[in-house]
Amino acid sequence: MKTTVKRVLNYIKKYWFVLLLSLFLAMVTVALTLYIPILTGRAIDQMLGKGAVDMEAIFGILWKIGVSILFTALAQWVMNTCNNYITYHVVQDIRKEAFAKIQILPLSYLDTKPTGDLVSRVIADVDTFADGLLMGFTQLFTGVLTIGGTLVFMLVTNVPIALVVVCLTPVSFLVAKFIATRTHDMFHLQSKTRGEQTSLIEEMIDNEKIVKSFGREGAVKEEFREINGRLKDCSLKAIFFSSLVNPCTRFVNSLVYAGVGTFGAFLEVNGGISVGTLSCFLSYANQYTKPFNEISGVVTELQNAMVCAGRIFELIDETPQVPEDEDAVELTHVKGEVTLQDVSFSYVPGQKLLEQVSLQVQPGQRIAIVGPTGCGKTTLINLLMRFYDVNKGSIQVDGTDIRHLTRNSLRTSFGMVLQETWLQAGTVLDNIRMGKPEATREEVIEAAKASHAHSFIKRLPQGYDTVITEDGGALSQGQKQLLCIARVMLCLPPMLILDEATSSIDTRTEIRIQKAFARMMEGRTSFIVAHRLSTIKEADVILVMKDGNIIEQGNHENLLAQKGFYANLYNSQFAG
């Protein structure tokens, strides 16, 4: 908790000038607020009895009260503006830092964390933190200053009555502290469960077709009810205990008010103070105790805010991906020679996947990778792109270990078309030239024609200027894949990775695209992952993988002649 508060203060420190201005305005607001009861008391003292009312003096005092109220309102407005400025700039800084961290987190972290929980941290938790921080600025500053200022005024005016207030006040602190210490853990559990709920909702909405296809609506509803029930329980407990703070402190404050009124009445009867002074003290007693109610509520909100801040700081503090070497070099003039030397890798320590894989790829070769599901085909692609780093061994491109190359230059040297498509919200034109933003409209159209996407794009409402959503909207899976293929056709990088690149495309279009791929792969080192073995017969080298190892290697005819695993796999696809 203390560490979180220190970090929040470090973010606020950037806006020290606005913070000081807010503090100054808070002091002005409090001073004027405390000055008004003095003026009211003076006005009361001008009314001594029937026929003994000094109206001229009263109107003079009322004029001063009116001016004080006007300046108080103005100071409060400017102070609230300053507080909003600080709060939402701090929130902006935290969100920017959190999003920047997500960009450099290793894929191993993103693969193991629910997307909904990350979204909940960056959106919901930061919003809750902002609400608590704003309330802290607005009410905590003025509350503390009001308590201090009122106490000083009361001690200056009448020490005995002030001592009555001071003696009863600690009870309010003790009650608030007792309850607040018991709500922190409950708010933490509430925030954690809310993230779990957001994760489930996000996952179910993204995969609604699968849920309906397998008739899992009932099971999903039951799982949601269970999480929702836990969220209800912990939220009710947190809210119940936090809501006790205000009535408990109000009870103590009523005792203070009653004590001041009773003791002050005795003094007034004995001529110790005037009626106006007693009225002023009663007003002060109310003003003195009121901030305790507000502060108790602020403490509860701040606790919730600090819990949410802690969750977002956990994300910000996550270990980023292995940084690039200081002497990392740019990969330029790529020939396309790729070497894997005794590569071993596993996603989970202790669970072996790739074991001592070695491979030598000459520039311009087409390498097909085949094998049963889970044998390590896609993992090999992830390692080539350096989405993950090898545990042992090395991968070299043009004789340089990829760990000594800049990630950007390595990845821009590969063009990828995956079975799983990825589009961004924007126009069709923008989606195609994602990897080459400077491309002209004519170049984009040529790439679309080469990928056989041009015909369906022309039929869209605004053609290449049609705006699509990140999930492709009304586009079919095959059309989305054609856009991804056009994207690579436009860039034409020196090396290609095709992972089931035509899995969602009809056979007729696939034949045309295969011809386009063949032209595109000429002179380029290409890695082709395929389950349909008919599509990789022209590959220079076919790697047959099983259980993380390359068990066979050669061209199509040689592997068939060996009558091994590849031959069985190929014949099983064309049996009968």
Predicted confidence at residue 77, as pLDDT, reads 92
| 336 within domain boundaries | no
- CATH number of the domain at 110, please: 1.20.1560.10
Going by the DSSP 8-state scheme, the letter that residue 140 receives in this structure is I
Question: Partners of 47 in the beta sheet?
Answer: 53
Joined together, the tokens standing for residue 491 give: 């860039």
Closest CA to 7 of 315, 282, 287, 291: 315
| 210 within domain boundaries | yes
Closest CA to 116 of 232, 207, 25: 207
Predicted confidence at residue 74, as pLDDT, reads 93
**Domain-ending residue, one of 286, 316, 346:** 316
**Domain-ending residue, one of 316, 347, 378:** 316
| 193 within domain boundaries | yes
The residue ranges of DSSP E strands in 5-63, in sequence order, are none
Give SS3 for 189: helix
Residue 400 φ/ψ region, left for φ over 0, alpha for ψ in the -120 to 50 degree band, beta for the rest: beta
| 304 and 452 belong to one structural domain | no
| 530 within domain boundaries | no
| 562 within domain boundaries | no
Q: Please identify which residue in the block is written with the tokens 């830092």.
A: 97
**Domain-ending residue, one of 267, 285, 316:** 316
Predicted confidence at residue 293, as pLDDT, reads 63
Residue 469 phi/psi, 5° resolution? -85, 175
* 367 class by beta-carbon count within 10 Å (0-12 exposed, 13-18 middle, 19+ buried): buried
Predicted confidence at residue 53, as pLDDT, reads 67
Domain of residue 194: give its range.
91-316
Distances (CA, A) of 556 to 7, 29, 277, 564, 569: 61, 85, 104, 12, 12
Question: Partners of 366 in the beta sheet?
Answer: 526
Q: In what order do the strands lie in the sheet with 354-361?
A: 354-361, 338-345, 392-397, 400-401
**CA dist., res. 408 & res. 414, Å (int):** 10
Predicted confidence at residue 570, as pLDDT, reads 78
| 292 within domain boundaries | yes
Residue 463 φ/ψ region, left for φ over 0, alpha for ψ in the -120 to 50 degree band, beta for the rest: left
State how many domains the chain has.
Answer: 2
**pTM over the 0.85 mark:** no
* Average pLDDT, consecutive stretches of 10 residues, N- to C-terminus, the chain (576 residues): 80 88 87 80 70 73 87 90 88 90 83 80 85 76 79 77 74 68 74 83 79 83 90 84 73 75 74 72 73 68 80 86 81 87 84 84 88 81 87 89 88 82 85 86 89 87 86 77 85 84 70 74 84 76 84 85 84 66
**CA dist., res. 281 & res. 41, Å (int):** 9
| 280 and 140 belong to one structural domain | yes
Q: For 172-197, give one letter per residue: b (16+ CB within 10 A) or e.
A: beebbeebbeebbebbbbbbbbbbbb
| 303 and 174 belong to one structural domain | yes
Q: How do strand 495-499 and strand 414-418 relate by DSSP bridges?
A: parallel
| 12 within domain boundaries | no
* 272 class by beta-carbon count within 10 Å (0-12 exposed, 13-18 middle, 19+ buried): middle
Predicted confidence at residue 78, as pLDDT, reads 92
| 13 within domain boundaries | no
Closest CA to 90 of 130, 122, 135: 130
User: Residue 497: enclosing H or E segment and its boundaries?
Assistant: strand 495-499
| 312 and 187 belong to one structural domain | yes
**CA dist., res. 398 & res. 361, Å (int):** 10
346 in Cβ contact with 392 (< 8 Å): no
